[in-house]
Structure 1
C-alpha cells in the first residue's frame, strides 16, 4: 500500500479533554492514532484506551520523531505549543496545533514563517467555521443578501470558572499565556466573524475584568492554598473593521448557566444573520418584513457551502464534535494534496495572537489600539503547489 493510499497515522500529544476530541476526530476521518504522549510515558499508557491509541511514546519528542506518525496533534497546555510545533515542522510532519498557536505574537509569527519555509501542512482548530449553519451564513453574506454589513456584534460566554473554588492551569499566565478568557475563547469569535463576513478588525478598545481575585492553586493537594489570579475572567471589546463596520464582543468564563454560548449577529440594511452555538441546528435570518429560522440539515440548506458540511437531514443536530471531525477531515485532505476552502492554518493562529496582544495593550492603557497585520488575507489553503508531506516522503 502506498503512503497516500493507507490511512493517515496520527500522534496525539496531550491526553486531556482536547486530546480526546482530537482522537475521536482522527478516527472519524479514517485515520489511526498510532502514538500518544503525555508528560510521562505512564500517563500516556493510562490514556491509551480512552484515546484509542496503539502505543504510548516515551516523550512528546519521541512521538514527533516516530516513523509511524504522519500528523502531529498538539493538545498540551499553551506554553508548550511553540516548542512542540517547531519540533514537528523540523521533522517534516504535518501539524495541528491547538490555539493559541503560541503565547506571544512573536513566537506565532516565527512558527508561521517556519511552516511556510518547510512546506508542511499546518492547521489551528478554529472549528466553529465548520458548522453547516455558519457556512450557510458565510455564503449568503458573500452573495450580498444582507447588503453592506455595518454592525457586527456578539458574545462568547461560559461558566466553567463561575465557582470561586474552581481553577485550571489556564489561570496561570506562565502556562496559559497573558490572556485567558479572550485568548481562550474570544479569539474563536473574532476568527469566526472575520471568516464569515470577510471584514478584518483594524482597531479596537478593550477592558478586562476579574470576577474573583484569588483561586485555588493548581498542582497542589491542599484546596485551601490559593493564589492571585493573573488572567482575566472576562473582557469587552469594541472594534472597527477595514470595511467601515463597527462591532462589539463580550467574553466571559464566569457566566452561570452559559455552558458554551458563542453567539453572533451580523447586520446589514437588508438582513441580519444570527447563530448560537448552543443551538447549532439553525441559522436565524431577519429582514424588514420577515424573520425565519433555517434548519441546518442536508435537506434544508440552500448553498453549497452549507450543504458540504451538513451530513444529516434537518432535525438531527450536528454539534461541536461533528465540526471538529469536519476540520480534521479537511486537514487530512490537505495532507493528501487537496485544497479545502476555509481551512484555518498558522496564519490564522498568528492573526489571533495579534488581536489578543492588541486587546491586552488596550486594556492596560485604556486607548484604542491598531491591530497589526490587518492586510493579511486568509491563506491560499495549500494551493501554492507545495507537495503534501506524505507524497514527498514516499
Structure 2
C-alpha cells in the first residue's frame, strides 16, 4: 500500500486550469485532501476551472492565492516558462510546492530553486510519475540486487503523434511559453529520468541530433524540435540510445525502456504497465504485477490486487500521496524532488548544446542537493 497521508489537514491549491490541473486535482482527492483554491491566467479562467473541476475559491491572481494562510501546498500546472517564477514565489510564501516539469527552462533557475527549497525547509517535488508504476520499481529492484548482471546497454523511446500534422499546434510549440526545448523537455525528460532511476546510474555524456517535421505550424515558424535522437554512456559504462518524437504516426504515449545486462534484460512499456518482460538467453518470460511476489517498494505501490490494472492516473496518485507523506515527515523511496528537476534541466541543456554544436557533451553526475550545489 502507499504511505498513509491522512493524519494531517493538508490543504492544497492549484495554479493553472488545464489538463494537468485536472490530473493533479484527481490525485489530491485520491490522497483524501481537498483543493481549496485555484488561480489561472485571469479571474475568469480561474472561475471556469473552479466550476468545472471543483477547485474551491477562484483567485484573481497567483499573488492573491499565495497570500492565503490556509493553503499549505501549491501545485503549479502552468506553461513552462512560468514554472520557476511561480515556484520561487510559492516558496517565498512558505508553501510546499509540487511543480510540473520542466522545473525551469534553464539550469541556473533550476539550481536557484534547489537551494531555495532546501533553505526554506519545504518539500519541493516534480512529477516524474512514471517512476510510480509498480513494475518500474520492480525493474529497479531487480537491477539493484544484480539479477540482470553487469549492465551493458539501455534502449529507450518515447513516441507520440499529437503534433504530426502541419496544422497541429499548441502553446508548447512557442518558445516564449514552452521554452527552448519542446519534445525533449516535454517527454524526453521523463525518459531520461526513467533511465537514471531504473538503473540507479547517471548519464555521463551524450550526443544528440534534433529534427523538425514542419518549418511552420498553423502559419507560425517553428523554432523548437519535434524529435530527438541521442546516444549516451552511463557512468558505470553501459551505452544506450534514446528516441523521442511527437510526430510518430500511430503512437499515442509509447514510453518504453529496455535495460540489457550480462544475465538478463528488463523491458517496461508504459502502455502495457502490468507486465515486465524479462529477457534471457533461454527462458524469457513476462512477469505480471503481483504484490504477493514483488519487491517491497513495488508491492507498496500496488494498491490493487494482481489482475486489476493500474495506469497513469494511479501512478500520479501515488506520486502525490508520497509528496504529501514527505510533507508529513516521512521519507518515501524514490520521490522526485527539485534536485531531479535540476537534473532534467541539465540533460535538456546538454541535448540542445550537442545538437547545436555537434559532438559529445559531458554531464555532471551529482545525486544529492549537497553534491549538486557544491
Equivalent-residue separation in structure 2 for 1:45 and 1:5 (angstroms): 30
Other-structure match for 1:34: 36
Q: Which residue of 1 aligns with 2:27?
A: 25
User: Are 1:53 and 2:55 counterparts?
Assistant: yes
Q: The residue matched to 2:156 in structure 1 has which SS? A: strand
Rounded to whole Å, the distance in 2 between the matches of 1:150 and 1:61 is 50
What are the superposed Cα offsets for residues 137-194 of structure 1, whole Å, 9 maximum, x if unpaired?
1111111000010101110001111121110011011110111001111010110110
Mapping for residues 248-259 of structure 1, pairs under 5 Å: 248-259=241-252
Contact 1:61 1:84 in 2 (8 A): no
Which residue does 2:183 correspond to in 1? 181
How far did 1:378 drift?
4.9
Q: TM-score, normalised by structure 2?
A: 0.95
Q: Structure 1 stretch 65-74 or stretch 46-55: which is displaced more?
A: 46-55
Question: How far is 1:125 from its partner?
Answer: 0.3
The match for 2:367 is 377
The answer for unaligned runs of 5 or more in structure 2 is 1-5
Q: Is the 8 A contact 2:203 2:235 kept in 1?
A: yes
* Residue 271 of structure 2 is aligned to residue 278 of structure 1: yes
Structure 2 distance, partners of 1:6, 1:182, is 37
Correspondence for 2:289: 296
Question: Are the counterparts in 1 of residues 96 and 124 from structure 2 also a CA contact under 8 Å?
Answer: yes
- 1:50-129 correspondence to structure 2 within 5 Å: 50-129=52-131
User: Which digits, 9 at most, give the CA deviation of each residue in 1:352-388, with x for residues without a partner?
Assistant: 00010000000001111111x31x11569xxxxxxxx
Q: Deviations over 1:340-359 (max 9, x none)?
A: 01000000000000010000
Tell me how large the CA RMSD over aligned residues is: 1.2
SS in structure 2 at match of 1:120: coil
Whole-Å Cα distance in 1 between the matches of residues 127 and 368 of structure 2? 15
TM-score where L is the length of structure 1: 0.91
Matched residues in 2 for 1:273 and 1:158: separation? Answer: 23
Answer yes or no: is the 8 Å Cα contact 1:11–1:64 preserved in 2.
no
Partner of 1:386: none
How much does 1:5 deviate? Answer: 4.3
Residue 318 of structure 1 is aligned with which of 303, 307, 310?
A: 310
Distance between the aligned counterparts of 1:87 and 1:60, measured in 2? 9
Cα distance in 2 for residues equivalent to 1:104 and 1:39: 23
Q: How far apart in 2 are the matches of 1:238 and 1:121? A: 34
Match of 1:358 among 339, 350, 362: 350
